[in-house]
């Protein structure tokens, strides 16, 4: 195809082929992206030690410790991505920008807040990796925080008043844990999977008990503590995850009553803990690591996000992990470790059964049933933990994954370096 001679002769097909070849060359030389390091606060129990600390403040504590421990010059960080689900304080709406300013980054450093519900933390890491691969950044600070204790009650109609009757008040925390489109609480989606995969109450209680056992064992071996910072302010002294039960038995689990459904499986003991906390990471290019003489934790290989039936949202990690493996020409046996967020015990069991994951590879230091699930921070936390597990166990490949309210799943593949 040639353009009109009056406008100059252009060989369209030739230029198109050059463009395609240039694109192929760029893809073949795609920039490598790494997790440099990460830190997190302890996860405070609902109404506990951290309940009065705002989400941005929690993230500031984690980020300052991360920057200091990693010996990173804040001026070298190009962008900030902040993951949060419930903006429990007004400044949380400004969290990306405020975090940059409060942690000493350049005045020109932009910040953004993203929300993919329980997948927000992993999404923030994948977004950072995309910025670096597109040559729009060399290093990105990703942080996530949630203060579920501060989740507000909303009053509708108060701005202009109501002609008759009371104002309508809603609990934003409860509403967040219920899909309004299909009118399904998240716990019921786990019950739906329990029915489909024929999961028993005994299986669910055993998984929940083991989550606590594994987390307690990891604490005793000093495996979890290196990713934690201590928060000591006034009368607050929080240095470990508060939701974790240190003395608990399988019999204790079995006596708990179902929460969402009569004769159901999900109880207060087999659901993820409602907690407050924050996590932060530095994501960077290979060039950045070389220039700043930094040793990374892991390399980010790729990620996938998929949609699933909303009333069975907990199965989301399964198609996300399958697509991730397929895209990277891998089979499940090549993966050394998995961190699948424990939204509910039956939900993770369903994913484990659907994928046939070896239980010895799954959530080996305990999960959210034991440690808690601060929505916006969880994806960063489990990805940090996974990277550290690969180092400790000398594994090569790991996948962090989460189900997402509304019917989605997210997964990320990382490699030990």
103 in catalytic set: no
pLDDT value for 20: 52
**Residue 349, pLDDT above cutoff 50:** yes
Q: How crowded is residue 259: how many other Cβ atoms within 10 Å of its Cβ?
A: 18
Report CA 146 to chain centroid distance, whole Å: 11
Report CA 55 to chain centroid distance, whole Å: 15
- Which of 103, 118, 238, 351 is an active site residue? 118
Question: pLDDT (tens digit, 9 = 90+) per residue, 185-224?
Answer: 999 999 999 999 999 999 999 999 999 999 999 999 999 9
pLDDT value for 13: 57
| Contact (Cβ atoms closer than 8 angstroms) between residue 34 and residue 296 | yes
Instruction: Show the tokens assigned to 403.
Output: 């189900």
**What spatial distance separates the first Cα and last Cα of the chain, rounded to whole Å?**
49
118 in catalytic set: yes
Picking from 34-38, 165-169, 352-356, which range would have the lowest pLDDT averaged per residue? Answer: 165-169
pLDDT value for 30: 79
**CA-to-CA distance for 260 and 177, rounded, in angstroms?**
12
pLDDT value for 165: 86
Handedness of CA 378, 380, 386, 388 (dihedral sign): negative
Question: pLDDT (tens digit, 9 = 90+) per residue, 129-149?
Answer: 999 999 999 999 999 999 999
**Residue 5, pLDDT above cutoff 90:** no
> SS3 helix, strand, coil % of the chain, rounded to 5?
40, 25, 35
**Residue 407, pLDDT above cutoff 80:** yes
Q: How crowded is residue 334: how many other Cβ atoms within 10 Å of its Cβ?
A: 11
pLDDT value for 166: 87
Picking from 24-38, 211-225, 273-287, 327-341, which range would have the lowest pLDDT averaged per residue? Answer: 24-38
Picking from 17-21, 59-63, 208-212, 377-381, which range would have the lowest pLDDT averaged per residue? Answer: 17-21
- Return the closest-CA partner of residue 276 out of 363, 153, 378, 387: 378
pLDDT value for 9: 41
- Return the closest-CA partner of residue 348 out of 211, 164, 158: 211
Question: pLDDT (tens digit, 9 = 90+) per residue, 43-61?
Answer: 999 999 999 999 999 999 9
- Which of 103, 238, 351, 403 is an active site residue? 403
pLDDT value for 15: 59
| Contact (Cβ atoms closer than 8 angstroms) between residue 273 and residue 342 | no
**CA-to-CA distance for 10 and 14, rounded, in angstroms?**
9
pLDDT value for 28: 39
Q: What is the DSSP letter of 234?
A: T
Q: What percent of the chain has pLDDT over 90?
A: 88
**Residue 6, pLDDT above cutoff 50:** no
pLDDT value for 29: 57
pLDDT value for 102: 98
**Residue 16, pLDDT above cutoff 70:** no
Question: pLDDT (tens digit, 9 = 90+) per residue, 168-195?
Answer: 899 999 999 999 999 999 999 999 999 9
Mean pLDDT along residues 66-79: 96
Residue reference for tokens 């166990």: 393
For the chain, give the mean pLDDT. Answer: 93
At 1, the pLDDT band (50, 70, 90 cuts) reads: very low
């Amino acid at each position: 195809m040639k353009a009109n001679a009056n406008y100059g002769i252009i060989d369209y097909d030739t230029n198109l082929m050059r463009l395609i070849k240039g694109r192929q060359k760029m893809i073949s030389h795609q920039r490598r992206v790494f997790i440099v390091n990460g830190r997190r606060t302890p996860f405070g129990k609902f109404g506990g030690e951290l309940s009065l600390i705002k989400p941005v403040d929690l993230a500031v504590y984690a980020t300052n410790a991360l920057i200091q421990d990693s010996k990173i010059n804040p001026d070298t960080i190009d962008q900030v991505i902040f993951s949060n689900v419930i903006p429990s304080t007004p400044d949380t709406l400004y969290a990306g920008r405020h975090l940059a300013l409060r942690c000493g980054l350049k005045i020109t450093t932009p910040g953004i807040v993203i929300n993919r519900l329980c997948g927000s933390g992993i999404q923030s890491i994948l977004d950072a990796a995309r910025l670096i691969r597109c040559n729009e950044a060399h290093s990105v600070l990703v942080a996530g925080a949630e203060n579920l204790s501060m989740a507000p009650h909303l009053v509708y109609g108060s701005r202009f008043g109501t002609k008759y009757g009371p104002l309508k008040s809603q609990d934003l925390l409860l509403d967040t844990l219920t899909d309004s489109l299909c009118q399904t609480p998240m716990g019921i989606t786990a019950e739906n999977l329990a029915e489909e995969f024929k999961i028993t109450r005994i299986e669910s209680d055993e998984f929940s008990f083991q989550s606590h056992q594994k987390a307690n064992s990891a604490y005793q071996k000093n495996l979890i503590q290196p990713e934690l910072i201590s928060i000591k302010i006034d009368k607050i002294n929080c240095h470990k995850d508060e939701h974790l039960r240190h003395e608990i038995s399988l019999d204790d689990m079995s006596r708990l009553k179902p929460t969402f459904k009569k004769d159901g499986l999900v109880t207060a003991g087999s659901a993820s803990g409602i907690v407050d906390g924050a996590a932060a990471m530095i994501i960077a290019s290979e060039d950045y690591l070389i220039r700043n003489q930094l040793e990374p934790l892991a390399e980010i290989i790729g990620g996938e996000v998929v949609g699933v039936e909303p009333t069975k949202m907990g199965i989301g990690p399964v198609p996300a992990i399958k697509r991730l493996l397929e895209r990277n020409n891998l089979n499940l046996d090549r993966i050394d470790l998995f961190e699948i967020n424990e939204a509910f015990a039956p939900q993770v069991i369903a994913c484990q059964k659907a994928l046939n994951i070896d239980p010895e590879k799954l959530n080996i230091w305990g999960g959210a049933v034991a440690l808690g699930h601060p929505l916006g921070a969880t994806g960063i936390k489990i990805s940090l933990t996974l990277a550290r597990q690969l180092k400790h166990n000398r594994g090569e490949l790991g996948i962090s994954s989460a189900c997402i309210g509304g019917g989605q799943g997210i997964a990320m593949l990382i490699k030990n370096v």
